[in-house]
Structure 1
Amino acid sequence: MSNAIPLALAPVFFVMALGYGAGWFGIVNKDQVNGLNALVMDFALPASLFVATASTRRSEMLEQAPLFAIFGAVMLILYFLWYVLVRSSSDTNPTDASLQAVTIAFPNLAGVGLPMVSAVLGPTGAVPVAVALAAGSILVTPLTLIVVEMNGQTGSNPDETPKIRIARALRRALTKPVVLGPALGILFSLSGLTFGPVTKACLQLIGHAAAGVSLFLTGLILAGQSFRLDWKVVGATGMADVLRPLLTAAIVSVLPIPAEVAKMAILLAAVPSGFFGILFAVNYRLDSATEGSMVIASTGFSVVTMAIAIAVLFGH
Structure 2
Amino acid sequence: MGIEHILVILAPIFFVIALGYLAGYFKKYNMETSKGLNTFVTKFALPAHLFVGVVTTSKQQFIEKWPFVVTMFLGIVGFYIILLIVSRYAFKMDLTGASMISLNSAQPTFAFMGIPVLGSLFGADAVAIPIAITGIVVNALLDPLSIIFGTIGQRGDNKDEKSESLWKVTIKSVLHGLSEPLACVPLIGIVIVLIGIPIPELFNDMLNQIGTTTSGVALFAVGVTIGVRKISFSVVSFAIALLKVAVQPLVMLGIATMIGLSADDTVKAMLLVAFPGSAVAALIATRFEKREAETASAFVISAILSLITLPILITWLM
Q: Is TM (by shorter chain) over 0.5?
A: yes
TM, length-normalised to structure 1: 0.90
Equivalent residue number for residue 12 of structure 1 = 13
Give CA deviations for 1:123-144 in whole Å, capped at 9, x if unaligned: 2222222222222222211112
Q: 3-state SS of the aligned residue for 1:16?
A: helix
Q: Aligned partners of 1:88, 1:271: CA distance in 2, in Å?
A: 28
Q: 213, 216, 220: which is aligned to 2:220? A: 216
Question: What is the Cα deviation at residue 39 of structure 1?
Answer: 1.2
Q: Aligned partners of 1:82, 1:231: CA distance in 2, in Å?
A: 16
Q: Aligned partners of 2:13, 2:103: CA distance in 1, in Å?
A: 22
Q: Aligned partners of 1:195, 1:127: CA distance in 2, in Å?
A: 17
Q: Aligned partners of 1:298, 1:100: CA distance in 2, in Å?
A: 14
Kept in 1: contact 2:24–2:30 (CA 8 A): yes
| Aligned CA distance change for structure 1 residues 93 and 21 (closer, same or farther; 3 Å) | farther
Equivalent residue number for residue 125 of structure 1 = 127
| Aligned CA distance change for structure 1 residues 215 and 260 (closer, same or farther; 3 Å) | same
Amino acid at match of 1:50: F
Kept in 2: contact 1:117–1:125 (CA 8 A): yes
Alignment root-mean-square deviation, CA:
2.3
Question: What is the Cα deviation at residue 304 of structure 1?
Answer: 2.1
Q: 3-state SS of the aligned residue for 2:232?
A: coil
| Aligned CA distance change for structure 1 residues 23 and 247 (closer, same or farther; 3 Å) | same
Equivalent residue number for residue 71 of structure 1 = 72
Alignment map for 1:165-180 (pairs within 5 Å): 165-180=169-184
Amino acid at match of 1:213: V
Alignment map for 1:1-316 (pairs within 5 Å): 1-88=2-89, 92-123=93-124, 124-152=126-154, 158-282=162-286, 288-314=292-318
Question: What is the Cα deviation at residue 159 of structure 1?
Answer: 4.3
Q: Any stretches of 5+ residues in structure 1 without a counterpart?
A: none
Give CA deviations for 1:83-139 in whole Å, capped at 9, x if unaligned: 233334556443333222222111111112221001111122222222222222222
Q: Aligned partners of 1:30, 1:264: CA distance in 2, in Å?
A: 31
Q: Aligned partners of 1:221, 1:252: CA distance in 2, in Å?
A: 31
Question: What is the Cα deviation at residue 151 of structure 1?
Answer: 4.3
Q: Aligned partners of 1:32, 1:86: CA distance in 2, in Å?
A: 34
| Aligned CA distance change for structure 1 residues 174 and 74 (closer, same or farther; 3 Å) | same
Give CA deviations for 1:186-220 in whole Å, capped at 9, x if unaligned: 22222233311111011111112222222222222
Question: What is the Cα deviation at residue 287 of structure 1?
Answer: 6.0
| Aligned CA distance change for structure 1 residues 283 and 206 (closer, same or farther; 3 Å) | farther
Kept in 1: contact 2:256–2:266 (CA 8 A): yes
Kept in 2: contact 1:57–1:192 (CA 8 A): no
Q: Any stretches of 5+ residues in structure 2 without a counterpart?
A: 156-160
Q: Aligned partners of 2:31, 2:311: CA distance in 1, in Å?
A: 32
